[in-house]
Structure 1
């Protein structure tokens, strides 16, 4: 079982890590320009795309769980049609974003806090990067389907290629082209469409036979679409809660000033680094647990859950130690501005506790998705975000100031871990019975 977990987790970890590393490169490119305004602009613009892309993340989660169960049942028609339904929704959503980009941008910048200088640069970033949306959302669907097929190699290759192209393009456009914030946005557009072309090539190379099961009429068949959207709806609500928390976090940071925004943006990169690393095991959980759930093998499902938590807990301790010992040195990756470094150092202690507080929530996410227990995921997230993030922040802000945002983030992640553990008996094991 350990070998099976690592066989799926390691490629996912390698592919996932390219995502925060890309964010770190973008922040580094902006952090070594002559103003802290650029770091804040990328952070603020990034929040909008977190909202947009995380809003469609329900597609990847739904498809990986449903296709893994179909794979366990050997239902080839269902395995195929879940992919095509997902792509139909993804491309429709991408087209919608392009058509209404002006309204989305105006509303987003009205909603978010930030200085006029930061918002102007963030706007430049947004209106370039938005053109990557159709490719980025379609890739979520395709990668989710590959994971459901127990194939973690293809998502790894796609992600690595995307981010290598993105990093290379951004460096050239910023350092040599002088495009600054527009340069990192253009790098994203180039990379996403390159990744989409690669994913189509890989699909045709190994899964061309799936096209035989493609039926246009079945894409919009109400019963199957309703089942797909019922799972997706709960995951969508869960994802909206995540978006609300992180959007609020960045918006409040901007409200405290450009230096605070830049400092918190740098610290968040280390949280994202850990979360994307643990998501490698979560993706493995989606595929393994989904397969055993579909095959109704309760014994193997329990074994996989136990051993997934061994790996998650071990790496949580490892990241905690790294952040405790090397926190200040790691912050220098992003900027050489002492004011930003000094401000970020005040909040390092909260970052140290994040891995321990949050690791169980990432593992449970993968398990719940594999079992398509989307309602329990939704309920856990609603409880954690409202009761343990927003309420503590407003209660404590007047007493401990900006420390309240980091304390609330730790409470939010810990509440997710605990509530999902409590709900697991009914959501996972009883459901299988």
Structure 2
């Protein structure tokens, strides 16, 4: 059997920051869009319209998150192609992902009535809110193929370490969305349909420009089409690998959402003050998580490239540098959350009991930035190495440990025990990921 070739390359600290910072800026803008949409509709003074928008946004966050594997999987596979000196630079991976995105997006549009029915049954909105939800849903669903295409395109750009281009595309999505939502709602008086139409327009514009940039990379649309070999596109081995990665990433996402859902449910059972204070702190924590996602993107690209190049020194160096950068970033985020938290809490609520409860648990929420950082870095490493089975299993085991820890600690520590369990959940993920990775490294770089 022929030995696997190696393509040595160096990894510098600058390589990590060059990907992590633009990606972090791009990811951190995502919560801003929801805030702007809520503000635009909220200022109309119609509670039903605002309720329909909020529920609609929740529905689409859930639906599109199920297809988030299109970005993660494409980024990991593309990074490996870059490392292996693939002359097509990962073209077949992004084309397969785009094809799958179109199929899933069109299927969602065809099944729109069924999806809306499930949403209404699950959320059980009041009649006026249901009308607004349906109006928002029918318009927003038109973005499905384009939104999913953007996932695939962003995966390709980030997988090639073109983080600045990925950042600009994401900023374009959000910029067009915000500008047109304001114009459609206030200028054309379209209500929630206007907010939805702004979102659709943002994704359409970004998808078209992204496709143009991909084609330009290969010398134009005609040259790109000539490089796509149908037999390679439907290669059974490649398709099985892509679908296997997709399945594992979906299971991993489901386990993560289950942990957050349990956390929210337990806060609800403890009363409205605990529920509200936990919600505020969890949203603050999520902002830091979006920022740390940029670090995960950097480790995914660099470690994936090292696996493709079959060069373990680069893999080890990328891991070390990502964790070192993570210590600096997560410590800074934790300090900002802890010292700036009281101001943010006071801006988010006027209820003194909720403010007091949130301040009491603030240090545990801020600590999540530090305890969660290694898990984010190893998320990226395992995705880049396409060890998604290890990541899936690690997440499932961590979920069981979290549920057990929360059950025990809440009995003695109350809500503080729930927050401690969440910190332990992050640490357990990182520990299990590290152990799984160490066992698989020899096979990753076998001659």
**Shared fold per TM-score greater than 0.5:** yes
**Corresponding residue for residue 67 of structure 2:** 56
Equivalence map 1:25-424=2 (5 Å) = 25-29=36-40, 44-77=55-88, 79-112=90-123, 122=133, 124-174=135-185, 181-207=192-218, 208=220, 209-247=223-261, 266-331=280-345, 347-388=361-402, 390-393=403-406, 406-424=419-437
Cα displacement string for residues 274-326 of structure 1 (whole angstroms, at most 9, x for unaligned residues): 12211112111121111111111111211111011011111111111111111
**Corresponding residue for residue 425 of structure 1:** 438
CA change 1:402–1:98 in 2 (3 A) is farther
CA change 1:338–1:64 in 2 (3 A) is same
More displaced stretch, 407-416 vs 177-186: 177-186
SS in 1 for 2:90: helix
Structure 1 unaligned runs (5+)? none
How far did 1:118 drift? Answer: 6.4
More displaced stretch, 305-314 vs 402-411: 402-411
How far did 1:329 drift? Answer: 1.9
How far did 1:249 drift? Answer: 5.1
Q: For the Cα contact (< 8 Å) 2:75–2:156, is it kept in 1? A: yes
Cα distance in 1 between the residues matched to 2:111 and 2:279: 28
SS in 1 for 2:29: helix
Q: For the Cα contact (< 8 Å) 2:70–2:97, is it kept in 1? A: yes
Cα distance in 2 between the residues matched to 1:157 and 1:334: 30
SS in 2 for 1:76: coil
Give the RMSD, CA atoms, in angstroms.
Answer: 3.4
Q: For the Cα contact (< 8 Å) 1:332–1:341, is it kept in 2? A: yes
TM-score (structure 2 length as normaliser): 0.84
Aligned length: 432
TM-score (structure 1 length as normaliser): 0.86
Q: For the Cα contact (< 8 Å) 2:70–2:152, is it kept in 1? A: yes
Cα distance in 1 between the residues matched to 2:264 and 2:38: 15
Cα displacement string for residues 2-51 of structure 1 (whole angstroms, at most 9, x for unaligned residues): 11111222221222222122233345556767688877765543332232
Cα distance in 2 between the residues matched to 1:71 and 1:262: 46
CA change 1:176–1:351 in 2 (3 A) is farther
How far did 1:104 drift? Answer: 2.1
Cα distance in 1 between the residues matched to 2:201 and 2:23: 23
Cα displacement string for residues 80-106 of structure 1 (whole angstroms, at most 9, x for unaligned residues): 211111111111111111111222232
CA change 1:31–1:259 in 2 (3 A) is farther
More displaced stretch, 7-16 vs 253-262: 253-262
Q: For the Cα contact (< 8 Å) 1:174–1:183, is it kept in 2? A: yes
How far did 1:264 drift? Answer: 5.2
Cα distance in 2 between the residues matched to 1:75 and 1:24: 42
Q: For the Cα contact (< 8 Å) 2:215–2:224, is it kept in 1? A: no
Q: For the Cα contact (< 8 Å) 1:376–1:427, is it kept in 2? A: no
Cα distance in 2 between the residues matched to 1:199 and 1:220: 23
CA change 1:256–1:418 in 2 (3 A) is same
Cα displacement string for residues 202-235 of structure 1 (whole angstroms, at most 9, x for unaligned residues): 2223233443321234332212211222233222
Cα distance in 1 between the residues matched to 2:198 and 2:379: 31
How far did 1:67 drift? Answer: 1.4
Q: For the Cα contact (< 8 Å) 2:285–2:366, is it kept in 1? A: no
CA change 1:23–1:351 in 2 (3 A) is farther
